[in-house]
Chain A
Amino acid sequence: MKFVSQFSKAMTFSLVLFAVSLADQAIAANNNHSKNNSTLIAAKARVRTLANPWGPLVKVPYRSWLPRKEKPRMVLFCVHALGFSSKSYDNFGRRMAASGIPTYAIDVRGFGQWIQKPEEAHMDFEACLTDVEQGLKTLHKAYPKLPVFLVGESMGGAIAIQAASRYPDLVNGLVSAVPSSSDRKNGKSTSTVAYRTSGRPLGDVDMAPIIVDGATANVALRKKIEAEPLNRMDLSKKEIAQFEKFMEQTHDAAPLIERIPTLMLVAYKDRLVTASGSVELFTEMTAAEKLMIGDGNSEHLMLEEAQMTPEIEWILKGWLREKAGKAVLRHVATK
């Protein structure tokens, strides 16, 4: 009887300890967040082209934001939305690097630095997925034993899902924000709207009125996005069709996300696409460790263009820390 009483006391004590440690983590994360804004400058930003051994002539442009002092525990690899470039992750990368997380972002084929060469200024999703694979391999080599998380928003979120389904061994975690372009039940999508509103049967379609106006209601941000030379909003009808097809394929890839911890972010102030498309993708994923967060204050851009809210930052960092810890333990256990 005495033993039972001692044991129950011990259990209570350990539960209290657990609760205290959770509270400490929450406070530390909160403190980190408040520090971040003042220490954004601590992150080192770089712009480079990544050599691609598959095609010695091909170079993949990317940016990186690296912590100055802290020893990293994980690495982030980001893919941008339609029309944007790796530069749109600048604020996100700095905030992550300020928390000790090395962050890398690539330009999707046809966007960012790719548009500086006219012969390469066209979308190519197959080549982009190859770039992502190569980037993941390079990061695993550069940061051995550290988990690598794939992060993507909108079109980038769809690319991240498809890349994770193709290369599950290279992805330790997946963060996909608003990865759907459409609400399949209603049959409406950004590109369908653009296609129909443009009277011309051939030639380029300026997606800026649809993407930029739909992405944010903030006039200053709209102007900034439109003025950015690395952003490319004029797409050919062929490219729009290609984009639409690619986004649709994400539904085939989603069930293959089986063992990769996944965090899906959905914005309820999204004026570009409805949340239901992302919810559908989330339902299709077969991963046991999947979590969906809906932010009532976010517009379509949840991570890029300095639009990450403090709440999303707090949740994202907490989730990343937990999954990174598990990934390291899993690595040790399998060894």
Chain B
Amino acid sequence: MIKVTLYTLLAAICISQCPIALAKDKPSPTYLRQVSIMKRINDAQKAKQLTDKQARELRKDLGKVAEKKQKIRDKNPGQKGAENSADVEERLTKISLRIDELKEANAKKSD
């Protein structure tokens, strides 16, 4: 009887922990921001608000931010959210502002 109870308990723990563990694996705020910036670049390129070359450069910068995040994670193993640093946020903000600048400059050129 004790055995059955223990097995049931173990199974219940495993099943209940699975979605919790996966939910904890939520994307970090910097990642979500990175994805949103990538969407902005994609949309602006499709709408011809950015040239292919400009979009390529912006994506390259975004890739450098991802590399920076990886370096931070490597330096702080096991520390969740370490990559959400002010430096990373600042770099993302710079890219975001650069998108706006380029879009504006291109709009002026076409006028």
Contacts and interface: CB of A to CB of B under 8 A. Distances in A.
A168 B6 contact: no
Contacts of B46: 54, 130
Interface centre among A13, A130, A255, A329 (most CB of B within 10 A): A255
B69 A14 contact: no
B70 A255 contact: yes
A255 B52 contact: no
B6 A6 contact: yes
Given A126-B52, A329-B22, A330-B25, A166 B64 contact: no
A6 B6 CA distance: 8
Contacts of A10: 3, 6-7, 10
B10 A253 contact: no
A307 B101 CA distance: 49
Contact of B2 (A6, A11, A333): A6
A41 to B, nearest CB: 38
Contact of A255 (B26, B31, B42, B66): B66
Interface in B45-100: 45-46, 52, 56, 59-60, 62-64, 66-67, 69-70
Q: Is the interface of B mostly helix, strand, loop or mixed?
A: helix
Interface string B16-34: 0011101101110001001
A148 B43 CA distance: 22
A289 to B, nearest CB: 10
A253 B59 contact: yes
A330 B3 contact: no
Nearest to B45: A126
Contact of A334 (B23, B35, B38, B59): B23
A76 to B, nearest CB: 23
A62 B18 CA distance: 38
Nearest to B6: A10
B92 to A, nearest CB: 13
Contacts of B69: 258, 286
A243 to B, nearest CB: 15
A88 interface: no
B6 A333 contact: no
A252 B63 contact: yes
B20 to A, nearest CB: 8
Contacts of A99: none
Interface in A238-294: 249, 252-256, 258-259, 284, 286
A252 B65 CA distance: 11
A205 B63 CA distance: 33
Contacts of A166: 38, 42, 59
A165 interface: yes
A169 interface: yes
A326 B18 CA distance: 10
A142 interface: no
Contact of A252 (B10, B23, B59): B59
Given A10-B10, A286-B66, A256 B22 contact: no
Contacts of A7: 6
Interface in A6-44: 6-7, 9-11, 13-14
A256 B3 contact: no
A122 to B, nearest CB: 16
Contacts of A253: 59, 63
A9 B64 CA distance: 51
A333 B42 contact: no
B6 to A, nearest CB: 4
A252 B70 contact: no
Nearest to B67: A255
Interface string A318-335: 000000001001101110
Contacts of A14: 7, 10
10 contacts: A10-B3, A10-B6, A165-B63, A169-B35, A256-B63, A258-B66, A286-B70, A329-B18, A333-B20, A333-B22
Given A126-B52, A166-B42, 11 more contacts: A10-B3, A166-B38, A168-B38, A252-B56, A252-B60, A255-B63, A255-B64, A256-B62, A258-B31, A326-B22, A333-B23
